Structure 1
Amino acid sequence: MTQKSLVDELQQLQLAVELIELGARLQVLETETEISRARLVKLYKEVRGVSPPKGMLPFSTDWFMTWQPNLHASLFHGFYRRLKAQGASRMNAFVKAYRFYLEHVGEDEPVLALTRAWTLVRFFESDLLEVANCKTCSGHFVVHAHTPSHDYVCGICQPPSRAGKTAARRKAREELALEQSAAVASLG
């Protein structure tokens, strides 16, 4: 009978709590820790106050190729690569890279959720994705593995025609709604 080290178990619990706080799904926790599913569910409820969400994890590399997700995935993966090159362990680099990503995007709901970031790392480890250099800006961007990338141009240097229009439309609708509510309030 093997004896588990209390220090190892504590480190596993600390990692699980940190991942839960960052938004990890139960499948991520099961894969990255040695904690039983029942204990992870209990821990998730304790940390988040709700049961863990159900459903499948993302499974397609195509999501990372669309314009905005590609920019966010490339930013996160750049942090991750740099930390790994400096000698950080896989999960330590992952958590730190995700925290750096959140600091840099400064959004309440980031484009790249933790589970997507974890999936991105797994896709790189499975050789489904790789990094290409933009021939215009020399930046490093996420691309499908084994695709010709000698003439690659990133989404920053050559954004699609629709880029940014969704946010502009949303802002215009919000401004119109505020004007309408102000007009209704002045009538009453």
Structure 2
Amino acid sequence: MPFKSRSNIGADLLLAEKLIQLGARPPIVSQLCHLTRKQSIAFFKAVKGQSPKQGMLPHDYQWVIRSAFNNIHASLFLSIIEDIRHRLSTPNLNATLLVAAYEIYSNVASRILPNRQCIQPLSSQYYPLDINRAWYLIGLLSAGDLVFIFCGRCHARYLGMIHPEVAFSQCPICDVWTDRSGRRRWVSAKSKMLTLNKPNAR
């Protein structure tokens, strides 16, 4: 596999391998590790022993607000990214930053945010936020489509959305109710009435 001759190619390949192991797809590896599209696909096959998944990368800009569970995971990951950026004064995303932030997120998520349906909680494929969607959300945060909001009740830092078609700022901890199946849903006028009508509601 011919690579361009440069001094940091070894470091780029090590980061590319780590990204692929975490589940990153070739377009992301190519962008962050200075590889061509063909090189990133070939390297993916070498690392994984199989061809990469076909199709578009995650691009649902409303994913963060589709459920409180999604919002908690996205808020955790992007908080980690922002804290690392602030401490290291690195405004731009690079492979090292993405790998470090996602590894911290995976470790924390497996310990304090377990999904009851997870069979293998240490595997990133069982998190609602995989590394490809995490990369996409970083772009939304950088563009200002996502903003951090502090809840005055529980003091959590969570993500709100600023977009011409939707303005959303509900706390994923306080502004939710639990339905009969145990799922946490965003509070709405209807859900508030259902909560008030529950026999044991407080």
**What's the TM-score bracket when you normalise by the shorter of the two chains?**
0.7 to 0.9
Q: 1:81 to 1:39 in 2, by over 3 A?
A: same
* CA 131–10 in structure 1, closer or farther in 2 if over 3 Å, else same: same
Pairing partner for 1:154 from 163, 168, 171: 171
- Which residue does 2:143 correspond to in 1? 126
Contact 2:27 2:40 in 1 (8 A): no
Percent identity over the alignment is 27
Which residue does the alignment assign to 1:44? 44
- Whether the 8 Å contact between 1:67 and 1:160 is mirrored in structure 2 is no
CA distance 1:144–1:153, change in 2 (3 Å): closer
Query: How much has 1:148 moved relative to structure 2?
Result: 6.7
Map of 1:117 onto structure 2 = 134
Change (3 A) 1:98 1:12: same
Q: 1:88 to 1:44 in 2, by over 3 A?
A: farther
Shift of residue 12, structure 1, vs aligned partner: 1.8
Instruction: Give the C-alpha shift of residue 121 in structure 1.
Output: 0.4
Contact 2:59–2:133 at 8 Å: present in 1 too?
A: no
Greater Cα radius of gyration, structure 1 or 2:
1
Does 1:15 pair with 2:15? Answer: yes
1:79 equivalent in structure 2: 80
Deviation at 1:165, TM superposition (A): 2.2
1:165 to 168, 176, 182: 182
Would the alpha carbon gap of residues 13 and 158 (structure 1) be closer, same or farther in structure 2, given more than 3 Å must change? same
CA RMSD of aligned residues (A): 2.3
- In structure 2, give the amino acid aligned to 1:102: S
Please identify which structure carries the higher helix content.
Answer: 1
The CA distance in 1 between the partners of 2:25 and 2:179, in whole Å, is 32
The answer as to whether partners of 1:23 and 1:113 remain within 8 angstroms in 2 is: yes
The structure-2 alpha-carbon separation of the partners of 1:138 and 1:148, relative to structure 1 and needing over 3 Å to count, comes to farther
Distance 1:163 1:122, change over 3 A: farther
Structure 1 alignment gaps of length 5 or more? 168-188
Q: Paired residue for 2:106?
A: 102
2: CA distance between counterparts of 1:132 and 1:116? 21
Distance 1:153 1:128 in 2: 15
User: Please, what TM-score do these two structures have when normalized by structure 1?
Assistant: 0.77
Give the distance between the partners of 1:118 and 1:64, measured in 2 at CA.
13
Larger CA deviation: 88-97 vs 26-35 = 88-97
User: TM-score if structure 2 supplies the norm length?
Assistant: 0.72
